[in-house]
Amino acid sequence: MKLLQNSGVPIYQQIADQLRAQILEGKLKEGEYLPSIRGLAKDLKISVITTMKAYEQLEAEGLVTAAPGKGFYVNAQDTEMLKEQHLRKVEEALLEAIHAAEVAGMSAEQLQETLAVLLGMDK
């Protein structure tokens, strides 16, 4: 796991993002336990509360479940939810593009045209 101190992305977010990717890619499997909160804090040289927050975020997203006294384990990933997660990624990227287009003063039509052209190039 790689954590950047000055990337502007909070550390807990970076941990959650990387663990989420590992879960969605199937590297962390259903039923498998995440490292203990304090163990991960020790390994990553960060505070306990930061790892806690990352785990709580994954729990809120339904990716893991907290088992009292035992830690957090990976939930079964149904395909619907996987789709949902990927869809969210696409939406995020598109929102970023929309924002950049606004800054550049592009109209909605120009933006759609650009997307169509790029889609064409991809094929």
Nearest C-alpha neighbor of 34 from the set 8, 5, 63, 12? 63
Instruction: Please count the residues of this chain forming the interface with another protein, following the rule CB under 8 A.
Output: 17
Residue type, 121: M
Our finding on whether 17 is near another protein (CB under 8 A) is no
Our finding on whether 7 is near another protein (CB under 8 A) is no
Our finding on whether 123 is near another protein (CB under 8 A) is no
Q: Which residues contact 24 (CB under 8 A, 6 or more apart)?
A: 77, 82, 85, 86
Tell me, rounded to whole angstroms, the distance of Cα 73 from its chain centroid: 17
**Residue among 13 and 22 whose Cβ is closer to another protein:** 13
Interaction with another protein in 33-72: which residues (CB under 8 A)? 36, 38-39, 41-42, 45-50, 52-53, 56
Our finding on whether 85 is near another protein (CB under 8 A) is no
- Distance (Å, rounded) from C-alpha 21 to C-alpha 63? 11
Contacts with another protein, residue ranges (CB under 8 A):
8, 10, 12, 36, 38-39, 41-42, 45-50, 52-53, 56
